[in-house]
Amino acid sequence: MKQILCIECPQSCGLMVAYTKEEIVVSGNRCPQGISYATKEITNPCRMLTTTVKTAFADFPRLPVRSALEIPLKTILPAMQALQTITVEKRLQPGDVVLTCIPGTDVPLVATAGMTE
């Protein structure tokens, strides 16, 4: 049995999740989103990745970035380690792709700030 706080809607239901390899039983949800959220958290938890990467510009040494979509929680640490080696060599705007695939995923990494001159 595992307790999970659902974040899918403003109700923030406290969910109780009983699970085996064959079945997941969710209780405490006040809307159907709680069941899908709990199932996802048990089978494949995902999160948005937000961080910064180095740039080649003295006036803008770090660029804020995020994953375009949620990525599996188990890939966050390896991705963060790989992103330490990246240096952005051109000025970007919010939404520009920094990396086409975050290591270990098929999700792009995008800039969240503009690098004005």
Our count of domains for the chain comes to: 2
In which residue are the tokens 């060599």 written? Answer: 89
What are the beta bridge partners of residue 67? 109
**Per-residue pLDDT tens for 5-23?**
999 999 999 999 999 988 9
In which residue are the tokens 């995008």 written? Answer: 110
Which pLDDT value is given to residue 116?
76
Q: How far apart are CA 10 and CA 19, in angstroms?
A: 25
Cβ atoms of 75 and 69 within 8 Å: the answer is: no
Which pLDDT value is given to residue 115?
85
* Together in a domain, 105 and 85: yes
Tell me if 117 is assigned to some domain: no
What are the beta bridge partners of residue 2? 17
Q: Quick check: 101 pLDDT over 70?
A: yes
Q: What is the CATH number of the domain that holds 72?
A: 3.10.530.10
Which pLDDT value is given to residue 57?
96
* Together in a domain, 62 and 102: yes
* Together in a domain, 74 and 107: yes
117 vs 43, residue with greater confidence: 43
Query: pTM for this structure?
Result: 0.83
Give the pLDDT mean for 23-30: 95
- Of 27, 29, 24, which Cα lies nearest the Cα of 41? 24
Within 8 A by CB and 6+ apart from 37, the residues are 4, 6, 7, 8, 15
Which pLDDT value is given to residue 47?
96
Share of residues in the chain with pLDDT > 90 (%)? 95
Domain of 96, in residue numbers: 50-111
* Together in a domain, 12 and 30: yes
Within 8 A by CB and 6+ apart from 18, the residues are 1, 24, 25, 27
Which pLDDT value is given to residue 117?
63
